[in-house]
Amino acid sequence: MRHNLKGRKFNRNSTHRAAMMRNMATNLFRHGSIRTTLAKAKETKPYAERLITRAIAAELADKRAVIEVLNDRKVAHHLINEIAPELRDRKGGYLRIIQLGTRLGDGAEMAVLEFVGEAEEKQKKHASVKRETKKQSSAKGKSGVTKEHDEKTHARDEQSREHLKTAKPKKQAIVDRQARHKTPPPSSQER
């Protein structure tokens, strides 16, 4: 039994586990959130939070340590210059794990690992989108179509009318095609 042995092995050797943690942390800082298994999310969370704490400290040695750990130098600079200053006021708990349920293929528990501030930003963005759609719906006329949309469809309808004027009728095109590909009858049928 593995009593008092910290950490999950994920059926990988130590270098593979280390590379996996680096990749997951890099992708988390690149995209803002990652979707993974619950066990991997639970292992990645403290690993990434330690990197965020070092990036917030912003000493030269801390910056070098973050750059050394993350696979992409641009992502490391993004963490140090943009993400860390936003999280400077927090005393910890920069990330959250949201459980999603089981994966269909193998039944593994899935989760999303994301920054705590991301949810509030998404809610604000969603609310602003709702407000804009309400404004657009109130701008619609009696026909239920906005003026801009009506102009677009009008131009498209006019283009299709022009196309129909220049296009050949279908039956004529079929007859022309058959005439072009008509092969002469065999010599026995000519008589």
Q: Smallest Cα–Cα separation from 70: which of 10, 32, 19, 118?
A: 19
Going by C-beta distance under 8 Å and a sequence separation of 6 or more, which residues neighbour residue 13?
A: none
The domain ranges of the chain are 14-119, 138-179
Q: What is the DSSP letter of 83?
A: I
Whether the per-residue pLDDT at 188 is higher than 80: the answer is no
Q: Distance (Å, rounded) from C-alpha 26 to C-alpha 174?
A: 59
pLDDT tens digits along 54-64: 999 989 999 99
- Is the pLDDT at 38 greater than 70, yes or no? yes
Calpha distance 81→76 (Å, rounded): 9
CB 93 within 8 Å of CB 47: no
CATH superfamily, domain at 14-119: Ribosomal protein L17 (3.90.1030.10)
Q: Note the pTM of the prediction, 2 decimals.
A: 0.62
- Give the lowest-confidence range in 62-71, 94-103, 120-129, 172-181: 172-181
Question: Tens digit of pLDDT for each residue in 50-93?
Answer: 999 999 998 999 999 999 999 999 999 999 999 999 999 999 99
